[in-house]
Amino acid sequence: MTHRPSVRVLFEPSARAGVDLAGATAVVIDAIRATTTVVAALAAGCREVIPCRTDAEVRAEAARRPAGSVVTAGERGGVRIEGLDLNNSPSVMTADRVGDRTLLLTTTNGTQAILDAMAAQTILVAALSNRAAVARRAAALGRPVVFVPAGTVGAVSCEDTLVAGAVIEAMGDAPGGEAFDLDDSARVALAAWRGVAASFGQVFRQTAGGAAIVGLGLDADLAVCAQVDTTDVVPEVRGDPPVISAR
């Protein structure tokens, strides 16, 4: 009997500690907004993104690099960290701002999730905007897939679960996607996505993360986070310390 690779979703950040990611493909999602920001930056020609735990790490790394070669970005509670160039905003990741530069990024939830997934054999960064491209890459690798939603300050994030379901759906249509077994967590995420796919933009606005962004007047960011399959960029995390670049 041939072993079929599994697909699972770690709904809560606390679940990461009990999972062995060795040999797996980890798919990290912080839909509103960090992973959408990473995808947008690389699609705009950013050379690479370096995820940092703290703004102090961002500032220290920026000081080590040639002037003009980096852009700093980060938030806490959705608000730009004072002294950094940009917020964690996908809507401002344009070629004139980040093209051919390194983005140093720290966020409340997303960059921590990326760093927590470093034990995986391959780490992919997913958003709605690149969901089909990530699905094809994950299916082609043919290894167990573990979705790592960032969550919101330790709690389950509705939008991250929905995006996991969207990627899982696209995996079913990707070459080799039929070879995977969905565990119950993956089935829940897939069912959740299919249940709201016709109105997910409205659902995004109603989630805790979406409502917070709207409350901060960042509707433009939310609009980017709700775009589906607009790019084939697949960010992969490599190295130690980790660097995110497009395949």
Instruction: Given CATH 3.90.1560.10, say whether it is the number of domain 6-246.
Output: yes
Residue 1 is predicted with a pLDDT of 45
Give me the mean pLDDT over the 222-237 stretch: 97
| 223-228 LR contacts (CB < 8 Å, sep 24+) | 223/91, 224/36, 224/40, 224/90, 224/91, 224/129, 225/31, 225/32, 225/33, 225/36, 225/90, 225/127, 225/128, 225/159, 226/128, 226/200, 226/201, 227/128, 227/129, 228/128, 228/129, 228/131, 228/166
Better-scored residue on pLDDT, 208 or 247: 208
**pLDDT at residue 2, as a whole number:** 59
pLDDT at 181: 97
Q: Among candidates 167, 164, 160, which has minimal Cα distance to 189?
A: 164
Domain ranges of the chain: 6-246
Q: How confident is the model at residue 247 (pLDDT cuts 50, 70, 90)?
A: confident
Q: Report the pLDDT averaged over residues 196-218.
A: 95
pLDDT tens per residue across span 125-149: 999 999 999 999 999 999 999 999 9
Mean pLDDT of the chain: 96
Q: Using 50, 70 and 90 to split pLDDT, how confident is the model at 28? A: very high
- Give, for 104, the enclosing helix (H) or strand (E): strand 102-106
**Between these two residues, 135 and 3, which has the higher pLDDT value?**
135
Torsion of CA 110, 70, 84, 245, to 10 degrees: -10
pTM across the whole model: 0.97
Instruction: Read off the pLDDT of residues 42-82 as tens digits, 9 standing for 90 and up.
Output: 999 999 999 999 999 999 999 999 999 999 999 999 999 99
At residue 30's C-alpha, the angle toward residues 24 and 101, to 5°, is 95
78 vs 137: CA distance, rounded Å: 30
- Tell me the β-bridge partners of 106: 74
